[in-house]
Amino acid sequence: MVRPHLRLHPPHEPPVPRPAATVVLVRDGAQGLEVLMTRRSAHARFAPGAYVFPGGAIDADDHTDAPHPAIAWRPEQAAGDRPALLAAVRECFEELGVLLARDATGRWVAPDTVAALDRHAPLLPQCVARGLTLAADTLGWLARWITDRDLPIRFDVAFFVAPMPPGQTPIADDREQFEPVWITPTEALQRHAAGALPMVFPTVRTLEHLRRYADSAALLAECARHRGPPWTSCPRAGWLHGQEARFMEHEAPYGELALTCPDGQLAHMLDWRHDAPVALARHVQRLTAPNPGPMTGPGTNSYLVGEPDTGHVVIDPGPDEPAHLQRLFDATAGDIRAIVCTHSHPDHAPGAKPLQALCAAAGRAVPPVLGLPSGPTARPTSHFRPDRALADGERLTLTTGDGTVRHTLRVLHTPGHAANHLCLVLEEDGLLFSGDHILNGSTTVIDPPDGDMDAYLASLQRLRAACDSDRIEFILPAHGYVLGDAPRAIERLHAHRLQREAKIARVLATHPTGDLDLWVRHAYDDVPPHLWPVAKRSLLAHVLRLRGHAP
């Protein structure tokens, strides 16, 4: 974790989420699956005026000892889930007058029986008195949402799905909920996009998930298989294109928001900037070169590590782009102690010597260009000779005037993407500068002969081990946003590579006399065709690894 005094924002404790539950009632309409939504009161403390699914906080009365004569559970429903299940059933009845219950004969409760119940009195005693059994066994897990950390009122919400009981008609209580409406997920999202159906982020993302189901039977069958929430999300928020934007854990900006605003402060700008550095911590800045493209994404990330009283290390100065290099010089006030290139590719290293020259021309101390020299397998455009070659495990330190070491960057040789590729670990903060070895939003190209798939996978494993030894939480890649949960990110990337390799192996077995053009069409059929020429390079690296001989 970044040292507390170097975080961008003072730490604060977000409000503790209150346990709650929601039930998505579903039925089939003329256009397929429909869900029941209602509008919250304009005076509600949480999400006023938003369209939501029925639900609310878990009350003390929802913690009922099992078994109970008026509640039916499925055997696989965990005892710890029962308060949430009961709260979902209760809230659905209180807010909309819809009762998920059966009568003494096992049939769905009749509408006139429901109408005779008091929606504002305890539900269980009324069910016992009338011989009704709450059908908690009809609810299936859909998700678990934890309200964003930046909100003053937070909930930890169990989302369930259940069939709409036949014959009943939802009637809003006109106190908390208004205007119940049956709507398809697609129509709800369209109306929301048009500004006609206000919704909070979890509702929007839940509808996006639901629209993939053709009918209620498919959805209910899927949810009945889950013994717990199939996914849990506590979104994070930042600013994008001048508007508040929220993201789930699997989305590209999430890790960056976790690094810059760990307690949920709504403060970080996510727009890609080429004109000024973006602070990721008080001692780490990112300046993205103006070289966006299919292979570079928004551009090459140059990182500045250091403070005014320690000087700075520049990691990956990028291409020889004078305006970008001048901005790097200005952001460091010309106090650059070293320029490190993670590898020799033309979007990473060519700016090193011109940046060094800028320092010399300004009368500043000339920083050494550090890295590993390109080898004989490198392409001509990737020729690179540092002033000094870095040794694996070497430490670069930034010190204060009295000699106190403030920041330590340890070198890890990580061949694979390039033979001379290296990564850097900022030891005091558990930050990994991954160069092109790990990217956010895409997988790096392994281009033989300088690229080697065996070496790449071995280097991934080494970085995964470093996550444990150095408590690495965040990865700062050369392209894309910061990645969070570094160990899992590396594991997912490693698994993806092996899955792709297994697919390639099947294609080779089916088409043993084929060529790269044929194999790429089958092995990368989930990749847009315009990317196949690049994919062929990694395909070749996998083929060479599978066939056990070098490029």
Q: Residue 66: its pLDDT value, please?
A: 65
HSE, CB side, 13 Å, CA atoms: give it for residue 146.
16
Q: Are the beta carbons of 369 and 341 closer than 8 angstroms?
A: yes
Q: What is the DSSP string of 459-478?
A: HHHHHHHHHHHTT--EEEES
Same domain? 516 vs 481: no
| Tokens of residue 356, six digits | 């060094």
Nearest Cα residue to 437 out of 448, 419, 426, 429 = 419
Is 322 part of any domain? Answer: yes
Element (H, E) at 162: strand 155-163
* pLDDT surpasses 60 at 299: yes
182-192 per-position pLDDT tens digit: 999 999 999 99
Is 365 part of any domain? Answer: yes
Is 399 part of any domain? Answer: yes
pLDDT category, 493, cuts 50, 70, 90? Answer: very high
* pLDDT surpasses 80 at 516: yes
Query: Of 486, 510, 536, which residue sits at a domain end?
Result: 486
The CA distances from residue 502 to 284, 457, 507, 509, in Å, are 39, 14, 9, 11
Please state whether beta strands 388-389 and 369-371 pair in parallel, antiparallel, or not at all (unpaired). parallel
| b/e burial code for range 133-164 (CB count within 10 A of at least 16 → b) | bbbbbbbbbbbbbebbbbbeebbbbbbbbbbb
Q: Residue by residue, what is the 3-state secondary structure of 322-385?
A: HHHHHHHHHHCCCCEEEEECCCCCCCCCCCHHHHHHHHHHCCCCCCCEEECCCCCCCCHHHCCC
Same domain? 170 vs 308: no
Q: Residue by residue, what is the 3-state secondary structure of 214-264?
A: CCHHHHHHHHHCCCCCCCEECCEEEEECCEEEEECCCCCCHHHHHHHCCCC
Same domain? 180 vs 204: yes
Query: Of 461, 486, 511, which residue sits at a domain end?
Result: 486
Mean pLDDT for 529-538 is: 95
Same domain? 218 vs 288: no
Is 46 part of any domain? Answer: yes
pLDDT category, 534, cuts 50, 70, 90? Answer: very high
| Tokens of residue 28, six digits | 């089939």
| Tokens of residue 538, six digits | 């990694």
CATH number of residue 337's parent domain? 3.60.15.10
Q: pLDDT > 70: what percent of the chain?
A: 99
Mean pLDDT for 89-101 is: 96
Is 256 part of any domain? Answer: no
3-state secondary structure of 491: helix
pLDDT category, 43, cuts 50, 70, 90? Answer: confident
Q: pLDDT > 90: what percent of the chain?
A: 90
Same domain? 519 vs 469: no
Number of domains in the chain: 3
- Where in the sequence is the domain holding 188, given as residue range(s)? 18-234
361-410 per-position pLDDT tens digit: 999 999 999 999 999 999 999 999 999 999 999 999 999 999 999 999 99
pLDDT category, 548, cuts 50, 70, 90? Answer: confident
Mean pLDDT for 135-156 is: 94
Same domain? 135 vs 78: yes
pLDDT category, 549, cuts 50, 70, 90? Answer: low
- Count other C-beta atoms under 10 Å from residue 80's C-beta: 8
Same domain? 54 vs 173: yes
Is 243 part of any domain? Answer: no
| Tokens of residue 401, six digits | 């005037």
CATH number of residue 178's parent domain? 3.90.79.10
Same domain? 422 vs 363: yes
Contacts of 21 (CB under 8 A, 6+ apart): 55, 56, 58, 83, 84, 85, 87, 88, 91, 157, 158, 159, 160
pTM of the model: 0.93
C-alpha span between 501 and 383 (Å, rounded): 30
Q: Residue 245: its pLDDT value, please?
A: 96
* pLDDT surpasses 50 at 451: yes
Mean pLDDT for 448-470 is: 97
Is 367 part of any domain? Answer: yes
Mean pLDDT for 153-159 is: 95
Q: Are the beta carbons of 231 and 143 closer than 8 angstroms?
A: yes
Nearest Cα residue to 347 out of 271, 417, 278, 431 = 417
Same domain? 430 vs 519: no
Q: What is the DSSP letter of 42?
A: T
Q: Which long-range contacts (CB under 8 A, 24 or more apart) does 70-76 make?
A: 70/124, 70/127, 70/128, 70/132, 70/133, 70/134, 71/124, 71/133, 71/134, 71/136, 72/102, 72/133, 72/134, 72/135, 72/136, 72/137, 73/136, 73/137, 74/136, 74/137, 76/227
Q: What is the mean pLDDT of the chain?
A: 95
Please state whether beta strands 133-134 and 51-52 pair in parallel, antiparallel, or not at all (unpaired). unpaired
Strand partners, 140: 161
Scanning the structure block, which residue is given the tokens 């150095």?
470
Strand partners, 52: 38
The C-alpha angle 170, 176, 178, rounded to 5 degrees, equals 45
Element (H, E) at 141: strand 140-146
Q: Residue 551: its pLDDT value, please?
A: 44
Q: What is the DSSP string of 146-158?
A: E--TTSSS-EEEE
Is 4 part of any domain? Answer: no
* pLDDT surpasses 90 at 441: no
Same domain? 81 vs 210: yes
* pLDDT surpasses 60 at 550: no
C-alpha span between 274 and 416 (Å, rounded): 29
C-alpha span between 400 and 493 (Å, rounded): 38
Q: Are the beta carbons of 270 and 253 closer than 8 angstroms?
A: yes
Same domain? 403 vs 453: yes
97-145 per-position pLDDT tens digit: 999 999 999 999 999 999 999 999 999 999 999 999 999 999 999 999 9
Same domain? 380 vs 507: no
